[in-house]
Structure 1
Amino acid sequence: MATDKDSAPEKLKLKTEVGLLGGVSLIAGVMIGSGIFMSPQYVLLYIGSPGASLLIWAASGVLAMLASLCYAELGTVIRKSGGEYIYILHTSGNLMAFIFAFTTNFVVRPTSMTAVALIFAQNVIAPFYDDCPPPNGAVKGLAALGLVVLTIVNCLNVRSSMAVTVFFTAIKVLAMVVIVIEGIVLLIQGNVSNSLIHSFEETKLSVKPIGIALYHCLWSYDGWNTLNYVTEEIKNPEVNLPRALMIAIPMVTILYLLVNVSYLVVMTPTEMISSSAVAVTWGNKVLGGWGWIMSVAAALSAFGSLNGSFFSGGRVCYVAAREGHMPDILAMAHMRRLTPSPALIFTTVISLIVLIPGDFQSIVNFFSFTAWFFYGVTFSGLLYLKIKKPELPRAITVPIIIPILVLLAAVFLVLAPIIDDPQIEYLYVTLFILSGMLLYIPFIHFKLFPGILDKLTVFLQLVLEVAPTDKNL
């Protein structure tokens, strides 16, 4: 029988195609996406002042750096792909790992990818609609096309996906450098706005504004953990994983701070808050008739980030299936191309469904709340390994104070908005996460798989030309 893993004479393995350059490009490529071109106005809106918004951006960069150091240690202790899923599986057990896989594969990852796809589409179409917002149907149609195109690219082979990642990362870094240089030139010329002189006036210091501002800022930093999803595909991971993190995240943090300063040099806080896309507004004010270039840069940036999310996000689904927490077909790879095409196709289908009612701002709040809950569980797992299993070999070891600090930050990000301003949506999210237990007990714990699933697996194996991969590394 095609699904009997013992009958296969030789299991497939995904290729190790990601070197140091690819790793840096993958992290930076996912991080520098739609956020820096969209989120600054939301951060400023919620926190109230330019000075405080810059502090939020700096604090988020530090938090991302500390969190990535924790993941660097986890990635060299547990040398498997899957990111949070595989770490939670090894530290918190099957149930919590399944809940993470269920929530991530059906909601968190698709909603994140949908939000980036929507921003890609909005920036492509925006230049054709100067005086009015683009039609919602056109935006969603182009977003769907982008999702499908990237599915094909990532299903072809790992090398083509990495080439796309490196190319788009170079473009988006170049666009940010242009913004930074122009801002520095204007500062040297003495163009300092009142918003920078009186930078901390009207700062909002209550818990909810800080929490929501951090949500939107950390959305721009999302991707710091990308490389941990593809650990098995990294060349020499014990060296290249921490090195890539140490290069990519400080570079992105510095660029983000300088880009925000450039925005504030050119625009007043009111102009930033009222802008639908702050980078495009900056381009129109500074570049004049060439302002459309920033819209193109934002679109290409989002497209490149979406490609990186495809590359890493599909691996969570793939690894969860390989561990028995998703249908077997999703743990298979194409027999010639050696890509996890069933998992990638599944992720795309769910993303297209989420795209139908998609809304950017609600997606960001939902994503951040859920993501930082599971980050907190992962940091707890690292503390468990450091205290209970210090003998495990580690290529990198971080001081125990670092996971404690990021765990406290995760607890704040999850609880602060709820305590300060309880909303029914957070209850719905919590109930959805817990609903994973209702599926785990019958289908995973008691293995009550219907026979039709085996027949469907055989059919899809033949259609997609896929076979089981090797779980033992």
Structure 2
Amino acid sequence: MEQDKQRVNLKREVGMIGAISFIGGTMIGSGIFMSPQYVLSTSGSPGASLLIWAGCGTLSMLGGLCFAELGTAIPESGAEYVYMLRTTRAVLAFMYVFSFVSVMRPAGVTAMALGFAENVVAPFYDGCTVPPLVLKCVAAGSVLVVALVNCLSVRMGTAIQVITMAAKLLAMAGIILGGVVTLLQGSTVNLESPFEGSHVGVGSIGIAFYQGLWSYDGWNTLNFITEELKHPEVRLFFVTTLPNHDDVNSALYS
């Protein structure tokens, strides 16, 4: 007697709000609060730094659109690894995921955790240098907490992403509002000669782009959990050919 073959599937528990917060909460991280000073210093002028930010944003947008298309064509979790596995040789996909897990992702998580730790402990060390051991302990603890939350529950991780994204948006709104108020008060000295002192060397531009792209990093994170999305064809790509209007509405509000 033939037995039905059952496949273990991930629960589809991430909706539209969770998907948006997953990308937004990942992109709006420690990088956006730390990188602007480095982009400005390496580019040499406010005008050049704004062009760098515009270029980084354009590249990230194009990458996001490409990944949205890939996510709807190959609706499997894993992002780059799965796409390489389905389109190239398995050995290339293995080499990528091995380097990603052993080098690339740990380095990125370490940078974000250290940036988080530096901002968290700064109020307790006002006017003095934070001991490196304290920074490392707080950073390691934050990584363990985030890993534990994601292991315990997808819903809990999604809820935390929504809350943290709201807090980050409020912080960004405060910074933007402060800048607008400053401009309205007539503080435009940095815009009188916006490109004066710009660094046009390949090395300077490359480092500036590296810092800017690091701040935009995270536009591909939703593709890692494609199989956990409700209606991934809607969540991943909202501007491509979709089912009929009624199906889209029912998917959005389910």
TM-score (ref. length: structure 1):
0.49
* Offset at residue 153 of structure 1 (A): 0.7
Distance in 1, Cα, partners of 2:58 & 2:202: 20
List gaps (5 residues or longer) in structure 1.
1-6, 247-393, 397-473
Distance in 2, Cα, partners of 1:395 & 1:191: 47
- Aligned partner of 1:416 in structure 2 is none
* Offset at residue 132 of structure 1 (A): 2.1
* Amino acid of the structure 2 residue aligned with 1:235: K
Distance in 1, Cα, partners of 2:94 & 2:8: 24
SS at match of 2:84: helix
List gaps (5 residues or longer) in structure 2.
243-254
- Aligned partner of 1:82 in structure 2 is 78
Distance in 1, Cα, partners of 2:51 & 2:196: 14
* Amino acid of the structure 2 residue aligned with 1:140: K
1:156 equivalent in alignment to 2:156: no
* Offset at residue 13 of structure 1 (A): 2.1
- Aligned partner of 2:245 in structure 1 is none
Distance in 1, Cα, partners of 2:143 & 2:221: 19
- Aligned partner of 1:99 in structure 2 is 95
* Amino acid of the structure 1 residue aligned with 2:202: V
196, 217, 220: which one pairs with 1:225?
Answer: 220
Distance in 2, Cα, partners of 1:46 & 1:166: 34
* Amino acid of the structure 2 residue aligned with 1:242: F
Note the alpha carbon deviations across 1:259-282, whole angstroms, 9 max, x for none.
xxxxxxxxxxxxxxxxxxxxxxxx
Distance in 2, Cα, partners of 1:26 & 1:8: 36
Distance in 1, Cα, partners of 2:241 & 2:102: 34
Distance in 2, Cα, partners of 1:154 & 1:10: 25
The RMSD of aligned alpha carbons is 1.7
Distance in 2, Cα, partners of 1:395 & 1:158: 29
Distance in 2, Cα, partners of 1:395 & 1:112: 34
1:13 equivalent in alignment to 2:34: no
TM-score (ref. length: structure 2):
0.90
- Aligned partner of 1:142 in structure 2 is 138
> Counterparts of 1:91-130 in structure 2 under 5 Å?
91-130=87-126
Distance in 1, Cα, partners of 2:196 & 2:15: 46
Note the alpha carbon deviations across 1:433-468, whole angstroms, 9 max, x for none.
xxxxxxxxxxxxxxxxxxxxxxxxxxxxxxxxxxxx
Note the alpha carbon deviations across 1:242-265, whole angstroms, 9 max, x for none.
23xx7xxxxxxxxxxxxxxxxxxx
SS at match of 1:134: coil
User: Which stretch of structure 1 is more off in the superposition, 162-171 or 8-17?
Assistant: 8-17
Distance in 1, Cα, partners of 2:127 & 2:105: 33
* Offset at residue 195 of structure 1 (A): 2.0
SS at match of 1:242: coil
In the TM superposition, structure 1's runs of 4+ consecutive aligned residues that sit over 4 Å from their partners are 7-11
State whether residues 238 and 395 of structure 1, in contact with CA within 8 Å, keep that contact through their aligned partners in structure 2.
no
Distance in 1, Cα, partners of 2:4 & 2:217: 39
- Aligned partner of 2:62 in structure 1 is 66
Distance in 2, Cα, partners of 1:103 & 1:13: 26
* Amino acid of the structure 1 residue aligned with 2:26: V
* Offset at residue 183 of structure 1 (A): 1.2
* Offset at residue 11 of structure 1 (A): 4.4
* Offset at residue 17 of structure 1 (A): 1.1
Distance in 1, Cα, partners of 2:121 & 2:113: 12
State whether residues 73 and 395 of structure 1, in contact with CA within 8 Å, keep that contact through their aligned partners in structure 2.
no
In the alignment of these two chains, the number of paired residues is 240
Question: Which of the pair has the greater relative contact order for Cα pairs under 8 Å at 6+ separation?
Answer: 2
